């Protein structure tokens, strides 16, 4: 019972204490063919923050799978959207999931939102050697609950590959199809009726699905949505009460309405 980490509640310090390293940072002689993930985005709607992503992973011009979940529930009040190399991104998600729960359980209080945002920035910074080699780049989005407001207020953050963190006012997008989506989101936010921030859940889900359909028309690495083949997106809503997953069945219903 003497293996306590140097920083109380810091799971990464505990792993280091036990000589585990979650992310590989050594240099490689040559780059392997990367599996990559593609279009994810988040925007404020009337009921919180809606985060959505297509489900395609590609390696070069090969479609690896159309069943990847790129929107990951990190804990009861945080969502991560991954774009980039899944091998690194999923490991980052796993580190964050375990770190946040480890802190909450060991310190008997939840990690603050700024600390959660920085925890992801720290992982991105530690991944810098892989990013610089071009074999492990990850550009995620993060949504978390700000408990300093009552009721708790969902916030969106986006990052650059080096770990810089930025708070999004209305929306954020990442991945190869994000250019298209950012344009539509900006247009809708400025001229649309209703604006994304005014949309109820049904409208927001329908809008998100349509965004992915459009993105997939311009970006071959974005999976898109096809009700006929039961191919839908991964969509989660972060409200003041926590995370809600919008199932494929619900998406089909919202898309029909």
- Min separation Cβ 18 and another protein, Å: 6
Give 1 or 33: the residue with its C-beta nearer to another protein: 1
Give 76 or 87: the residue with its C-beta nearer to another protein: 76
- Min separation Cβ 69 and another protein, Å: 15
Token pair of 84, please? 């980039």
User: Which pairing describes strands 78-81 and 141-146: parallel, antiparallel, or unpaired?
Assistant: antiparallel
Torsion of CA 64, 66, 71, 76, to 10 degrees: -110
38 in active site: yes
Burial class (CB in 10 A: 0-12, 13-18, 19+), 199: buried
Which of the residues 25, 35, 38, 58 is marked catalytic? 38
Give 135 or 201: the residue with its C-beta nearer to another protein: 201
Give 105 or 210: the residue with its C-beta nearer to another protein: 105
Chain Cα centroid distance, residue 218? 21
- Min separation Cβ 100 and another protein, Å: 11
- Min separation Cβ 85 and another protein, Å: 20
- Min separation Cβ 80 and another protein, Å: 15
CB–CB of 147/100 below 8 Å? no
How would you write 167-199 as a 3-class SS string?
Answer: EECCEEEECCCHHHHHHHHHHHHHHCCCCHHHC
CB–CB of 207/215 below 8 Å? no
Give 94 or 210: the residue with its C-beta nearer to another protein: 94
CA distance 194 to 83: 28
**Helix, strand, or coil (residue 43):** strand
CB-CB neighbours of 144 under 10 Å: 28
CB–CB of 243/81 below 8 Å? no
Which residues of the chain form contacts with another protein (CB under 8 A)?
1, 3-5, 11, 14-15, 18, 20, 22, 76, 94-95, 98, 101-102, 105-106, 108, 245
Residues that are catalytic: 38
């Amino acid at each position: 019972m003497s293996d306590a980490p140097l920083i109380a509640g810091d799971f990464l310090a505990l792993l280091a204490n036990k000589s585990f390293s979650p992310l590989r940072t050594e240099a490689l002689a040559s780059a392997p063919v990367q599996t990559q993930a593609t279009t994810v985005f988040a925007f404020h709607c009337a009921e919180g923050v809606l985060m959505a992503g297509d489900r395609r992973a590609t390696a070069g011009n090969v479609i690896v799978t159309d069943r990847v979940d790129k929107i990951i529930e990190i804990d009861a009040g945080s969502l991560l959207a991954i774009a980039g190399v899944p091998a690194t991104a999923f490991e980052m998600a796993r580190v964050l999931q375990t770190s946040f729960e480890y802190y909450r359980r060991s310190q008997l209080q939840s990690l603050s939102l700024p600390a959660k945002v920085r925890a992801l920035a720290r992982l991105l910074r530690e991944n810098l050697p892989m990013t610089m080699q071009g074999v492990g780049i990850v550009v995620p989005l993060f949504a978390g609950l700000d408990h300093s407001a009552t009721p708790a207020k969902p916030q969106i953050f986006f990052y650059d590959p080096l770990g810089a963190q930025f708070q999004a006012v209305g929306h954020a997008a990442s991945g190869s199809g994000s250019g298209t989506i950012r344009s539509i989101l900006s247009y809708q936010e400025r001229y649309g009726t209703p604006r994304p921030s005014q949309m109820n859940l049904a409208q927001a889900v329908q809008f998100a699905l349509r965004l992915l359909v459009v993105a997939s028309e311009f970006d071959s690495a974005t999976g898109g949505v096809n009700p006929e083949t039961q191919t839908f997106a991964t969509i989660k809503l972060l409200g003041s009460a926590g995370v809600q997953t919008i199932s494929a069945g619900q998406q089909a219903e919202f898309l029909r309405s």
